[in-house]
Each structure stands twice: as structure tokens, then as C-alpha cells.
Amino acid sequence: MYPLAEVIVDVPTMQTDQPFTYLIPENLQSLVKKGMRVEVPFGNGNRHIQGFVVGLSETTTLDPRLKSLIRVLDIAPVLNEELLALADYMKETTYAFKITCLQTMLPSVMKAEYKKTILLLDEKSVAADYFPANGELDYDEAQKNGVLPQLMKLRQEKLVDIRYEVHNKNRVKTIRMVNSLMTEDKVAQIRDTLRKGALRKAQLLEILAQQKEALPVKYFTELGITTAHLNQGAKDGWLELFETETYRDPFAEHEFETTTNFVLNEEQAAAVAKILAAYQQQKAQTFLLEGITGSGKTEVYLQAIQQVLADNKTAMMLVPEIALTPQMVERFKSRLGDAVAVLHSGLSKGERYDEWRKIERGEAQVVVGARSAIFAPLENIGLIIVDEEHEATYKQEEAPRYHARDLAIWRSRYHHCPIVLGSATPSLESRARAQKNVYTLLPLNQRANPNAQLPTVEIVDLKDEYSQGNMTSFSKSLQEKMRDRLAKGEQIVLLLNRRGYSSFMMCRHCGYVLDCPNCDISLTLHMDTKTMRCHYCGHEEKIPQKCPECGSKKISYYGTGTQKVEAELKELLPTARILRMDVDTTRKKGAHEKILTAFGEKKADILLGTQMIAKGLDFPDITLVGVLNADTALNLPDFRSSERTFQLLTQVSGRAGRGQKTGEVVIQTFNPEHYAIALTKSQDYERFYHQEMKMRHEAGYPPYYFTVKLTVSHETERQAAQKSFQLARQLQTALSPTALLLGPTPSAIMRIKNRYYYQIIIKYKHEPALKPLLAQILTESQIDQRKGLYVSIDNEPLNFI
């Protein structure tokens, strides 16, 4: 019998989804497992490349053409059975290459190779025979010498261990007594050898004599015991210095006060009960927790998770981008304690790797994380939560273009456990599924804090302000209210909407926005060509000099920056203390949290920021929220612009009046009658949902239609265009007449880094031929890749531009 490994290789020029078969040499046979990374020879030149073992098999006849594995890169599988199956699902649904899916699932530091050293733990055991005097062996060296299988067996007997070094930083120098079971007599003997007056050394000796565990060097240096003292002790032979692996804990310096459960209100209790009923029955039921802002969704998550943990099961909670919601981490850690591992992009690579290791080793029972945390190697899952399920950041914008919500649902099926999608403003897709009872709707219609009321919302028409000569960013009403809050010592949040910033033309006199004559969508300004263009049908026209509607010359692109607004604000309210939160002030790690903490501690009166302030803020003294420009997102050439505008305005309005004092919201807009803005006045998601569904139905958009976007790119515009037209013809012939093709048209930013992009959007209801066709297009595109022509497929794209 010859053992074989099926390997998905990482070949950038000719990516392939078929595994290649390699022979496993005898000395590696006990080491290779499914889900490990290996090094294999590839191609004629016998280049060495990496790959993932996705299967093991045996054969009786040896094919002489088979090549052998060179090296095993991992000690244990980095992907378990579940994650390997998830990679298959992801490949099927996102039209990505298999290797891309596999690589996406690992934390980024693992993509770079890390160094592994085998350590001798007991020098008196048989294991010592394998080691040089210092008791350390290089892992690769051991593999080459063929002794690795034996050492791995000794590892199971705990005679040796393996140290991983990632970025060489997860090691701390520690000290302990040479013999931790030292008798008092022996300690007294050593004490006698110390010079009189060697107080520090005596102190060091006493500490070590009482302490069986190793202590970090830092502990001693803080007591004034220097490294010279330590080294001397080591030289004299009564202490030893060595390095141990530690977790880099991003929250090490942070104290979490423990909090206790709230008594749930009726709606919350009903929601928890239904979730737990599904959990008890091991039902992969999908719940949509639709709760107004401040209705206590988090409390529902926490209490449901507690029950799951009590059964020794685990739970996973996804949040849009945790860096934006330090308060959420706080709430989880303070309630659930050390069981919580946190994964998000705000952590250093090393920290993220360490959190991943904790999960992999079963030391964390709850994972809280942003999009890619969906790949956490958590086992035995009893509950999955996707908070703010409508957020676009759950979708990855590069291959594999997965939506974390879909993968979360897949994992809930795998574990036969319920999943909760939570939002105050669910995506139309999810809400429509709840309508059809595919998902179970759990409504929370009251604010959880019994004293907190929904804020009152005033909508200000900026056209009136301009016509009355107010050219500032602040309407009269907002100015008045800000002065009032400053006098009362209450806090203010101001949102400057950056989405769609200055990309569209609007008349300041009549509010007219330049749209495409063929589509219900505004035209996008292209500064490079000085034209207005439609991204759906390709229509193009010159930038107008005057308003086509009223003839006014006050037509311009609309938008303003946070810095400019801050300056304006200082002039208007010279005594106000202002904090600004935007990309510029939050570039540094932890800057976000600092700003929010300062605001929470009332070190400022006004928090001025972009979208990032809309979520998660839960401060009782915010009694006024101002939205300076509600329309910008509304004018984006994307059918979801109304949905996004309504979501943003509802979210940010929800920051007001969460404590005892009632909140007020002022929304400034040029389109006060637009339903996405008008309906925020009553915070009426349900009405918005019904109205928006009508629009989607009439215009033929999701959730009534499915969508796919194909993008073609090349160095020359001609080739990109040609290929996209060829694909369009191919699609047209294969699909039924009910499928609609939009395009080909140049993409919103047609040229990026000197490449030209063309796109096609397909809208369809039922096209059995589509999936195989797209898979075929993707496979065939590999040939074009050699000519520098790339085709990418985005299933259910969230961005149409």
C-alpha cells in the first residue's frame, strides 16, 4: 500500500480547483493529516510550492510519475473537517478559486511561515537522546532527519513540546528556582553564600523560594532587581532564566467590571425563550431579531449565550467592525469574562494569532469578531449571532467575495444550532425572508431602559436655509438646539455623511439632482473625463453649467469635509469642546477607543464625525443628534441608496436619548419629502420596508431578483471592453429571456492603477443554466489570465458601482 495525499496547490498563474496527488514518503506518513499545509514540488522545474492537504488515500499500484511531498508545514491541521467543507461551499457560492478560499480562512500571520522549535521538557527521559545539549531542536531539521514522528509521539507523552514563534514576540523571559522543590535548608545555604548587604539578591531568593511557577522578568525589574542580579543568580546556579510562550492579550491592561443580568422585559424574554427552544431541539433555525435602537438586543444575545455556555457549548457573535464598537467588547467581557476571544482588524497580527490559538485550543468558548471571525476554528457551537446584520462590511469586496451572514447560516446548519440576525433596520433580503417565514421574526418594539423614549426628529429643508441666506453647515434650528445643550451641559453628536461625497451634481436652488435619462439613478461625476456618467446603462453627458430644471447657476457638486465643518463649528460656538472622529483622527491603533472614552467621560461637548459614529454609542447624556447632510448617500447610483440612507439615519438617531433625558434629532436635507428621510421621523422601519419593497418590485431588484456582477479588467480599455461584450453575448444566448443584462459598461472608476474595468450585471429569477455557465467562464478565464485579462464574478454584489 502506498499512502497518497490530495493537495490543492497554490499556483498563481494556473490556479486549479482539482487537487494534485502526491506520494507521502515513509518518514512523513504519521505526520500528514487532512487540513495541514505541505510543501510540494510542482511543474517541470520542480519548483517548491505550498498547498493544502484536502484528502488522504491509498493505492496498491505505484504510478512512477507521482512526486513526493517534501515537507509538512503544520504540526496540527490548521483547517478542520468543518472548515474544509465550508471552503467547498464558499467556492460554490462565490465563484472563487479553491486555494483562495482555503487561504482566506487562516489568520494572516499564518500565511507567512512561522518558526517552530521542539523543546525538551524532561531531560531525564528517553526524549533527551534526540536533543543537543541546549534542549532545542529546529522543527524542519527534525523533519529532514526523519526523527519527527518519534518526537511527535513523545509530545503526546508530554516529554517534549513545540514552540511557535510568530513575529518572535509571543515569548517572555521568565525566571524560576533551579529546583522548584527546594528545601528550606537549601535556601538557607544559598542565602549564606550571598554577600552581606546584597539585599536585592536576598529578596530575589525569597520570592523564588516561595514561588513554584516561573515569574516574568518584568515582575522583578519593577522591584528594582536588575538583570545583572538575575544573571548572577543564574551563573551561581540557583535560578534559571528561560522563555515561555504567552498570549499577547490586547485587553491585558484593561479591567472589566463584572456586570449582572438585567431582568428581561416581556419582548426580550420571549425572544430569548424562542432562541433557546430552538437550541434545545438542536434546530438550525434562523431568527431575525428586529429591535428598535436601544431595545436591548445585546442583552438578549448575552443571556441566550449564557445558557449555551452553561451546557459547555460555544457561541459566536459577529459584529460589523469591532474597532468601531469598543463598548460591545466591554459588555461581552464584563459579563462573560475570560471565555471571550476577540478577533478584529484593530488588533496586531500577533494578538490576532494568539486569540486564534486560544480558540483552536478550546480555551475560549465565545468568539466576538468582525467579518473574518466567521472562520474561527470554534467547535461545538450552540449559538451564532450576527449583530447589525444589514451592514455592508460583512461582505468581502475581494475574492472570495463571501457574505459572512451566509457563511454563518451555513455553520449553524452544520452544528444544528440556531442563528440570530439582529438589527434595528434589517436588510430587505432578510426582512423579506422573515415575511415568508423562512426566518422567524422576533420583534422588540420598546426601548429596554424603561425611562428612555425614542427621540423626536425634526427634518430641516436646507433649500429654505439657503434661500434665507444661511450658507453655513448648520441650520438655524440646529444652532439653537446646540446652544441649548451646551448651556445645560448635555452632549451633542454631529454626523457628516461621507458616502457619495461630492460625486454627484445638485442644484442648490431647487435641489435637483442630475439623473440618467434612461435609469432611475443619478449620474456620477467623473473628474478625469469631466463628464457625468450612468453606471447602469453607460449614458454619458457633459457637466452642466446651469440647472436643467430651474436654470440656476448654483449647480455644483455637493459635499464638505469634517475639518472644514469643525472650523465652522469653532467659529459658531467658540466655547464648545469638540472631538472629531474621521479617517484622519482614527488612523492610529486604539485612537477610536480613546475618542469614545473621552467623550463618554464628558471631556467634550460635541462629537463630530463620519459614519463611524453612527453605531454602538451608548451614552446617556447625548440628547441631541444632528445630521448635517442626509442626502449624500441618497444620490449614489445604487438601488440600495434609500435603504442605506434610512439605515444610517435610524442608527445615528438612535444615539440620542438613551438615558433619562429625552433626545432630539435634527436631520438636514435637500429632499425632506423623500420617503427614506421622511420615515426616519417616526423611526418606522416597517413602513419603510413596505414602501421600499414596492420600489424594488417595480424596478426589478433584490430581493425580487437575484443579481450577479461580472467584472473584466485589462491594461487596455479595448481588450477589457471586447471581452466584456463577448461574455455578454455568451450569457445572452445561454440564459432565458427573463434574465436581464445591464451593460456591459465601464465600471464606476473605470481605470484603477492603469487597468481598465468593465462590468455586466445580471438580474434573474430562476436560471438553472447560470451557475454552471459562470463556473465555466471562471475556468476559461484562466487561459486569458496569461494575457493579463482578468474576469471576476461577484454573486449578490452589495455595490453596483
Minimum Å distance from CB 651 to ligand ADP? 9
Residue 629 interacting with ligand ADP (CB under 6 A): no
Q: Which does 268 bind (CB under 5 to 8 A by kind): Zn ion, ligand ADP, none?
A: ligand ADP
**Three-state secondary structure string covering 157-214:** CCCEEEEEECCCCCEEEEEEECCCCCCHHHHHHHHHHCCCCCHHHHHHHHHHHHCCCC
Q: How far apart are the C-alpha atoms of 459 and 219, rounded to whole Å?
A: 59
Q: Which of 25, 41, 243, 33 has the alpha carbon at shortest distance from 152?
A: 33
What cell numbers appear for 247 in the block? 498570549
CB of 744 to Zn ion, least distance (A): 13
Q: Does 516 bind Zn ion (CB under 5 A)?
A: yes
Query: How many whole angstroms separate alpha carbon 724 and alpha carbon 713?
Result: 9
Helix axes 184-193, 199-210, angle to 10 degrees: 170
Which candidate, 608, 592, 607, 692, places its Cα nearest to that of 647? Answer: 692
As given in the structure block, the three cell numbers for residue 113 are 511561515
- Name the residue nearer to Zn ion (CB basis): 550 or 783: 550
- Longest Cα–Cα distance of the chain, Å, equals 100
299 near ligand ADP (CB under 6 A): yes
C-alpha cell of 223? 522591584
Out of 395, 509, 655, 714, which residue is the one contacting Zn ion (CB under 5 A)? 509
The correct pick among 291, 377, 455, 663 for binding ligand ADP (CB under 6 A) is 291
- Nearer Cβ to ligand ADP, position 385 or 636? 385
Residue (of 322, 316, 404) closest to 94 by Cα position: 404
Pairing of strands 340-343, 314-318: unpaired
State the nearest-atom distance from the C-beta of 265 to ligand ADP, in Å: 5
18 DSSP assignment: S
Q: Is 650 in the site for ligand ADP (CB under 6 A)?
A: no
> CB under 6 A: which stretch of 158-166, 219-227, 287-295, 361-369 binds ligand ADP?
287-295
Within positions 609 to 628, which residues make up the interface with ligand ADP, using CB under 6 A? 618
Q: Rounded to an integer, what distance in angstroms lies between the CA atom of residue 267 and that of residue 271?
A: 6
With vertex at residue 647, the alpha carbon angle to CA 644 and CA 649, rounded to the nearest 5 degrees, is: 105
Torsion of the alpha carbons at 752, 757, 763 and 766, rounded to the nearest 10: -110
Q: Is the dihedral of CA 213, 217, 222, 228 positive or negative?
A: positive
205 vs 617 by CB, closer to ligand ADP? 617
Does 219 bind ligand ADP (CB under 6 A)? Our answer is no
Partner from Zn ion, ligand ADP, none binding residue 516, C-beta < 5-8 Å depending on class: Zn ion
Q: How far is the CB of 474 from Zn ion (least distance, A)?
A: 23
Among 100, 298, 372, 653, binds ligand ADP (CB under 6 A): 298
Q: Does 295 bind ligand ADP (CB under 6 A)?
A: yes
**What distance in Å separates the CA atoms of residue 238 and residue 177, rounded to the nearest whole number?**
6
Q: Which stretch binds ligand ADP (CB under 6 A): 15-23, 288-296, 489-497, 515-523?
A: 288-296
Check binding of 268 to ligand ADP (CB under 6 A): yes
Does 537 sit near Zn ion (CB under 5 A)? Answer: yes
Residue 449: CB minimum distance to ligand ADP, A: 4
All cell numbers assigned to 391? 451592514
Q: Which of residues 549-588 bind Zn ion (CB under 5 A)?
A: 549-550, 552
Nearest by Cα to 744 from 754, 729, 755: 729
Q: Is 417 annotated as a binding residue?
A: no
Closer to Zn ion at the Cβ: 369 or 743?
743
- Cis amide linkage into residue 426, ω under 30° from 0: no
Q: For the sheet with 740-752, list strands across it.
A: 740-752, 755-764, 706-714, 790-795
415/379 Cα distance (integer angstroms): 9
Q: Is residue 660 part of the contact set for ligand ADP (CB under 6 A)?
A: no
> Residue 539's binding partner, choosing from ligand ADP, Zn ion, none, with beta-carbon cut-off 5 to 8 A by kind?
Zn ion
Number of H helices, E strands in the chain: 24, 34
Q: Tell the smallest beta-carbon distance from residue 491 to ligand ADP (Å).
A: 15
Burial track 631-664 (b if 16+ CB lie within 10 A, e otherwise): bbbbbbbbbbbbbbbbbbbbbbbbbbbbbebebb
Among 448, 521, 614, 666, binds ligand ADP (CB under 6 A): 448
Q: With contacts defined by CB under 6 A, name the span among 144-152, 263-271, 487-495, 738-746 that binds ligand ADP.
A: 263-271
Nearest to ligand ADP of 151, 617 (CB atom): 617
What binding mask, one character per residue, do residues 47-86 give for ligand ADP by CB under 6 A, x or -? ----------------------------------------
Q: Is 413 helix (H, G, I), strand (E, B) or coil?
A: helix
Complex with ligand ADP: residue 451 or 682, whichever CB lies closer: 451
Rounded CA-CA distance 493/474 in Å is 13
Q: Using CA atoms, how far apart are residues 235 and 441, in angstroms rounded to an integer?
A: 69
Piece in contact with Zn ion (CB under 5 A), picked from 184-192, 440-448, 473-481, 502-510: 502-510
CB 608 within 8 A of CB 580: yes
Q: Which does 512 bind (CB under 5 to 8 A by kind): ligand ADP, Zn ion, none?
A: Zn ion
Tell whether residue 101 is among the known ligand binding residues. Answer: no
- Which of 53, 154, 532, 534 lies at the binding interface for Zn ion (CB under 5 A)? 534
What are the angstrom distances between the C-alpha of 202 and each of 177, 186, 187, 248? 13, 14, 10, 32
Say which residues have a Cβ less than 8 Å from residue 474's Cβ, sequence separation at least 6.
482, 568, 569, 572, 626, 628
User: Which residue among 51, 107, 250, 294 contacts ligand ADP (CB under 6 A)?
Assistant: 294
Q: Can you tell me which residue has the cell 531531560? A: 123
Examine residue 507 and tell whether it contacts Zn ion (CB under 5 A).
yes
Q: For residue 303, state whether it binds ligand ADP (rule: CB under 6 A).
A: no
Q: Which stretch binds ligand ADP (CB under 6 A): 289-297, 482-490, 586-594, 734-742?
A: 289-297
CB atoms within 10 A of CB 6: 17
Q: How far is the CB of 251 from ligand ADP (least distance, A)?
A: 20
In the complex, minimum distance from the CB of residue 657 to Zn ion, in angstroms, rounded to a whole number: 37
Query: Which of Zn ion, ligand ADP, none does residue 293 bind to, with CB < 5 to 8 Å depending on kind?
Result: ligand ADP
Q: Which is nearer to Zn ion, 295 or 635 (CB)?
A: 635
State the nearest-atom distance from the C-beta of 548 to Zn ion, in Å.
8
The only residue of 93, 104, 293, 632 in contact with ligand ADP, by rule CB under 6 A: 293
Which residue from 265, 380, 456, 477 is in contact with ligand ADP, where contact means CB under 6 A?
Answer: 265
509 binds, among ligand ADP, Zn ion, none (CB under 5 to 8 A by kind): Zn ion
Identify whether the C-beta of residue 622 lies closer than 8 Å to the C-beta of residue 492: yes
C-beta of 422 vs 744, nearer to ligand ADP: 422
Q: Which stretch binds ligand ADP (CB under 6 A): 259-267, 677-685, 721-729, 735-743?
A: 259-267
Is 426 a binding residue for ligand ADP by CB under 6 A? The answer is no
Only one of the segments 28-36, 238-246, 257-265, 521-529 lies at the binding site for ligand ADP (rule: CB under 6 A); that segment is 257-265
CA-based nearest residue to 616, from 297, 257, 317, 396:
297
Tell whether residue 494 is a contact of Zn ion (CB under 5 A): no
For ligand ADP (CB under 6 A), the number of binding residues is 16
Q: Please say whether the beta carbons of 11 and 42 come within 8 A.
A: yes
Known binding-site positions = 507, 510, 516, 519, 534, 537, 547, 550
Binding stretches for ligand ADP (CB under 6 A): 262-265, 268, 291, 293-299, 448-449, 618
Annotated binding residues for Zn(2+), written as ranges, equal 507, 510, 516, 519, 534, 537, 547, 550
Judged by the rule CB under 5 A, the positions of this chain that interact with Zn ion are 507, 509-510, 512, 516, 518-519, 534, 536-537, 539, 547, 549-550, 552
